[in-house]
């Protein structure tokens, strides 16, 4: 049984990952808000915002931590001239510095596992370049750079670091972008596979990247995007 921390476990991809991993693993979950679905999993739960609050309350952790999944994210889509410096800072704090703080806190535990895995999240917009994505793409590009640097630095300690870069996925975070049938249909048609992804598809890849089956994979940015990041149809 592995000890795995999931930050951003209250809903969406984080919650689905917790549901998939819970039966065979010891989960420590972190979220700004508790949810009935998360409470039903009976994990060790910490209610806090890792990007804004002190992490000292995350205590009594297992000596060995085999996996970390950092799911908190944002979708802040606006024209560049309507974004403020604070908007960029907010996205950077949530997507990058929150992950940095949590990794630094548990790094000794990850090292003691003698084989552990970190999974972070980017977006297809980093690879493609998409209008109105300048703030979120900036912070997610930083995540990709961070992951590659850490993968190289941590390799000797047998800590793997990989990034999943989805396209638009049917989660609560994307609710406003998929709020009507017309929006959903238009979003689906932008993908070569002609549909929108779902949280379980992403969570299954997270599960694989945490498992021993992926033990020779590190430093990778993996697109799960219906072909959008690689194909022209």
As a whole number of angstroms, the distance between CA 187 and CA 223 comes to: 17
pLDDT at 28 over 70: yes
Domains, the chain, ordered by start:
2-224 (3.40.50.720)
Tokens 């003698």 sit at which residue? Answer: 114
Nearest to 32 by CA among 18, 14, 56: 14
- Residue 73 has a pLDDT of 77
Does pLDDT of 134 surpass 70?
Answer: yes
* pLDDT average, residue stretch 86-96: 95
Mean of the pLDDT values across residues 116-139?
Answer: 95
Give the rounded distance of the alpha carbon of 21 from its chain centre.
Answer: 15
Nearest to 153 by CA among 107, 112, 113, 213: 107
**Secondary structure in 3-state letters for the chain:** CEEEEEECCCCHHHHHHHHHHHHHEEEEEEECCCCHHHHHCCCEEEECCCCCCCHHHCCCCCCCCCEEEECCCCCCCCCHHHCCHHHHHHHHHHHHHHHHHHHHHHHHHHHHCCCEEEEEECCHHHHHCCCCCHHHHHHHHHHHHHHHHHHHHHHHHCEEEEEEEECCEECHHHHHHHCCHHHHHHHHHCCCCCCCEEHHHHHHHHHHHHCHHHCCCCCCEEEECCCCCCCCC
Of 16-20, 32-36, 99-103, 205-209, the poorest mean pLDDT is in 32-36
pLDDT at 21: 97
Q: What does the pLDDT average to over 173-202?
A: 83
Question: Residue 174: pLDDT above 70?
Answer: no
Q: Higher model confidence: residue 170 or residue 133?
A: 133
199, 16 contact by CB (below 8 A): yes
Give the pLDDT band (50/70/90) at residue 232.
Answer: confident
Q: How far apart are the C-alpha atoms of 63 and 65, rounded to whole Å? A: 7
* Residues 195 and 227 sit within 8 Å (Cβ to Cβ): no
pLDDT of residue 169: 81
Predicted confidence band at 78 (pLDDT cuts at 50, 70, 90)?
very high
Residue 214 is predicted with a pLDDT of 98
Residue 175 has pLDDT above 70, yes or no: no
Across 101-128, average pLDDT: 97
pLDDT band per the 50, 70, 90 thresholds, residue 233: confident
Report pLDDT digits (tens) over 183-193: 788 888 889 99
Bridge partners, residue 183, by sequence: none
């Amino acid at each position: 049984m592995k000890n795995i921390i999931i930050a951003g476990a209250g809903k969406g991809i984080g919650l689905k990952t917790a549901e998939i991993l819970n039966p065979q693993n010891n989960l420590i979950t972190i979220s700004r808000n508790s949810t009935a679905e998360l409470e039903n999993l009976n994990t060790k739960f910490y209610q806090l915002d890792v990007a804004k609050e002190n992490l000292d309350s995350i205590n009594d952790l297992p000596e060995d931590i085999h996996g970390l999944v950092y799911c908190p994210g944002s979708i802040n889509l606006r024209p560049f001239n309507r974004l403020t410096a604070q908007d960029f800072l907010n996205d950077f704090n949530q997507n990058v510095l929150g992950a940095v703080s949590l990794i630094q806190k548990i790094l000794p535990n990850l090292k003691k596992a003698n084989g552990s895995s970190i999974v972070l999240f980017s977006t297809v917009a980093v690879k493609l370049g998409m209008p109105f994505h300048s703030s979120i793409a900036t912070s997610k590009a930083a995540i990709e750079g961070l992951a590659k640097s850490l993968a190289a630095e941590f390799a000797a300690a047998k800590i793997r670091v990989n990034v999943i870069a989805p396209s638009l996925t049917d989660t609560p975070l994307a609710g406003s972008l998929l709020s009507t049938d017309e929006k959903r249909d238009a979003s689906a048609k932008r993908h070569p596979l002609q549909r929108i992804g779902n949280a379980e598809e992403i969570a299954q890849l997270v599960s694989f990247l945490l498992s021993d089956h992926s033990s020779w994979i590190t430093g990778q940015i993996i697109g799960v995007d219906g072909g959008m990041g690689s194909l022209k149809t």
